Structures are given as C-alpha cells and as structure tokens.
Chains A and B, each alone.
Chain A
C-alpha cells in the first residue's frame, strides 16, 4: 500500500520540543541520553573484556583511552550526566506510567483549562529530578575533570 507523505512528520519533528511543554523536552533528552548510554555500554563491554587478557592488555587499553587526552574525561562526564538524567527521569516515568502518580484524577474541565497530568505535582517531579541530576553532574565533573576529589 502506498504510504502518503505526512506533513511535518519524521525523526527531527519527533525529537524537536521547541514551543512545547517541559515534559516533551524531558522526552527528547531521555531519548538522547538513552542512545548515548547504549553506545557507551557496547564500548564498555568490549573495554572490560580486555581484563581477560591480563594486566598488560588492560594497561594497553587504558593507555589507548588516556591518549584521547581531556576528551576521555569529558566523554566520561557526558556519559555520567546521561546516566544520571536517564535514571532519574526513568524513575519518574515508571511512577507515571505504571502507577499513575503525578497524573491527577479525572476532573470536570473548567476554563481556563489546565491539564492535571502536566500540573503542579508533575512539574515538581520533573524539576526535582533535573535539579538533583544537575547537582550530581557538577559534582561528577569536579571529580572527573578537576580531580578535586570533592565529596
């Protein structure tokens, strides 16, 4: 069956949250961080496999990574941020989707309309996670990039 071309559809449109609500932005970031982490996961599994080759193989692997210079730590920092955001937002999504939390109850719509699923409790959840993730990410950055060992 011939598929008709749909206006404004496609990958970019799906991931473009400009003009939309906060939760749509978190959807895009959740997808992006997920892809980053799967990419890192595949590389990490191969990297840790080098441990089976003994100390020499592992040292060679670490040297290869260190040869990337500051990009190594920056890359790790980005992956850490991805993991933090994806995990935190994922908890919120599990609570939303499987337990109906932060969604509110069916109400009688009264103008001016304000959907309860995007209401105060949802916003508090999203912002709490975002702030916590940013704080932990900064801390991870200080540890990885500045080597400050800050607790």
Chain B
C-alpha cells in the first residue's frame, strides 16, 4: 500500500481523516506523529518511549486496545485505520484519556511491600533474601507497565467504574505472592469486596491485550484462590502457586547455599 488513512476520533466524538504515506515498518505512532508534524499540529495523543516500555501510547486501534508504538500498520491488514481513545476512561482531548481513576485503583490495593516492623523496614541491616523459585511466583506480574490496555478491554470495567480492575488486582497478587510482603491479610480484605476480585468473570480480554504478557487474568484467578483459602479454609499466609522453573534452574528441593555476608553483622 502507498497511502493509509487514519480515521481518528477527536474531542466531542468527531471523526477526522488523515492520509499518510506508508513506509515499511511504520507503526501507528509513526503515522500519528507524521499527521501532527505535517497536517494538524493540534492532534492530541500521549507517547514517550516509542518502544513499548512506558505504556503511554495506549489507544483503541481497529477496535482493540493496543500500544500505538508496538502496532505495525502492516499487521492491521487494512489501509483505513480506525483510532479511538482507550475505552472505559473519560477523554481529556482527542486520544488523551483521564488515566487518574486507573491509577487510583492501583493505589487502592497498596502496591508496595508492607512490613509489620517499621523500624526494621526503615533501618534494615541486610537485604531481604528471596530465592529464585520464590521470585518466579510473581515476576511475571511485575512486568506491568501500567498502560491501561487491560482496563480498557475489561467488560466489567466497561460497566462498573468502581471495579478495581485487572491491573490493580494483578498487582495486589504480585505483592501477596512476594515472600517479603507481610500484608497478605490486608490485601485479602481489600480484594474481597463487591467491586473487587469477584467482579471478574474470566473473559480473559485483559490477558488478550496485555502487551507485556503480564497475564492479569491468571493473577486474578490466583488472587481469588487466595481469598477463598482465607475465607473458606481459614488459611493465612503466602500465596502458594508453584511456578514453572526457568530453563537450567536447579531441581526442586535443591536450595542455593546461604548468602555469605563476608563477616557483616547478621
């Protein structure tokens, strides 16, 4: 194709068409940048790293939430591309959405390590030791870049603005599975609400659109099992999902030798 047409939904719901010359390897972000530079400098959209790590350029492209910098124009198999703001968020201008409620949901699950001993936390004399197999339990969910695509794809979030959301619940599980965290019960209580983990219905759209394979649907089901363990079985403590060991990892039961502090005070 020589030219592509971008049909962009702008502020007020109006649709504007822009024609851009196609170049091999062009991403949707490249096309939007060309529009802003050469045709309409008022076109509003967010972007930053242009390499799929910052999560700023999330928008709805051809009906699906995607990162514009990671979406090749050729992969869309059409020369007329529909671009809309991310769903389930209110619009600030053109393709820029108000992402603050999304961040509020994230903040609501206390996405940080909770330690009971504040003195030990603030003045610890050594690092917290975490074994490789323990890291594997939550590392996948740590790759979240908070792009908001999962929230935009979620059918429950489309209905309920108070729903915690797949990203926040996945992050809550990330900390529940972290052996350094002591806020397991607090998070169980935060998730066990009428707008919490139980409003997920396993549509899987969040994992389908996630650009970093964080697989929030899996995290949500694991979080759900933690809540059930707590409420039904009365168990308290760490998330117990056994991970898949990476290639070359030591066999289960073989622990690495204790860390040598080199004579430092233990």
Contact = CB atoms under 8 A, between A and B. Distances in A.
Interface of A: 3-11, 13-15, 17-21, 23-24, 27-28, 30, 93, 96-100, 103-109, 113-118, 122
Given A7-B85, A109-B143, A114-B213, A20 B64 contact: yes
A9 B210 CA distance: 19
A22 B202 CA distance: 11
B218 A97 contact: no
Contacts of A27: 155, 201-203
A27 B207 CA distance: 14
A106 B140 CA distance: 6
Contact of A107 (B140, B157, B161, B222): B140
The 9 nearest A-B residue pairs measured at CB:
A8-B87, A113-B213, A109-B213, A23-B204, A27-B203, A115-B207, A4-B90, A14-B158, A117-B218
Contact of A98 (B60, B91, B201, B224): B224
A35 B156 CA distance: 17
B63 A98 contact: no
A33 B125 CA distance: 59
Nearest to A89: B202
Given A23-B203, A105-B242, A117-B204, 10 more contacts: A6-B90, A8-B158, A18-B63, A21-B208, A103-B217, A103-B221, A103-B222, A109-B140, A109-B215, A117-B215
Given A9-B158, A98-B225, A19 B215 contact: no
Nearest to A107: B244
A115 B210 contact: yes
A7 B213 contact: no
Contacts of A115: 204, 207-208, 210, 213, 215, 217-218
Given A4-B90, A14-B158, A109-B140, A97 B221 contact: yes
Main secondary structure of the interface of A (DSSP, over half): loop
Contact of A23 (B63, B152, B202, B244): B202
A117 B87 contact: no
A140 to B, nearest CB: 26
B89 A6 contact: yes
A4 B228 CA distance: 34
Interface string B59-103: 010111000000000000000000011111111000001100000
B25 interface: no
B218 A5 contact: no
B155 A24 contact: yes
A24 B205 contact: yes
A134 to B, nearest CB: 21
Contacts of A15: 155
B201 to A, nearest CB: 6
Nearest to A104: B218
B214 interface: yes
Interface in B138-165: 138-141, 143, 152-153, 155-159, 161
Contacts of B89: 6-7
Contacts of A116: 215, 218
A23 B220 CA distance: 15
A117 B141 CA distance: 13
Contacts of B48: none
Given A9-B88, A108-B140, A93 B201 contact: yes
A13 B158 contact: yes
A49 B215 CA distance: 49
Contacts of B187: none
B217 A7 contact: no
B241 interface: yes
A52 to B, nearest CB: 38
A107 to B, nearest CB: 5
Contacts of B208: 20-21, 23-24, 115, 118
Given A27-B203, A98-B228, A117-B217, A8 B246 contact: no
